[in-house]
Amino acid sequence: MTSTLSGQSQTSAAREPSSPLSSGKGAGERPPISVDVAYALPQQQDVIRLKLPAGSTVQQAIEASGLMRKHAAIDLTQNKVGIFGKLTKLDTPLRDRDRVEIYRPLLADPKEIRRKRAEEGKTMKKGGGDSGI
């Protein structure tokens, strides 16, 4: 299913996990969990809904989502990941209704940008131009 919200495309699809994650329902086994895996580009957001076995990890969810095949820029050795906006590790077990997020690298360091703006402000205040006197 594809829908457009505020100019961004959102793709959502229900998929069954690949066979390494699948397991038959046995006695005492916990029910599967439902998780979303999200990856956003400036003009598009892909959100894949999955049903996974209880105890699945962040990495297993990302791999089962197919987003790494769709977006070559995703590299789990480089990209940070999180659950609902909080950074987490790939081996973190998931809970029902978690949203796994794959973050793109920052193009510029926010601290460095603020530092440059502060320096520019100091320069303007020191050499404020002609006073007209």
Taking only the tens place, the pLDDT of each residue in 72-100 is: 999 999 999 999 999 999 999 999 999 99
DSSP helix/strand/coil, 101: strand
Q: Kindly tell me if the per-residue pLDDT of 123 is higher than 80.
A: no
> What residue ranges do the domains of the chain occupy?
2-105
pLDDT score, position 33: 97
pLDDT score, position 72: 93
Q: Is the pTM of this model over 0.85?
A: no
| Residue owning tokens 């590790």 | 89
Helix residue ranges, H only, the chain: 58-65, 67-70, 110-126
Q: What is the pLDDT of residues 1-39, one digit of tens each?
A: 333 333 344 444 444 444 345 445 555 678 999 999 999
> What number does CATH give the domain 2-105?
3.10.20.30
Residue type, 58: V
Residue type, 111: K
Q: Kindly tell me if the per-residue pLDDT of 58 is higher than 90.
A: yes
DSSP state of 17: P
Do residues 23 and 15 make contact, with C-beta atoms less than 8 angstroms apart? no
Give CA angle at 90 (62, 50), nearest 5°.
30
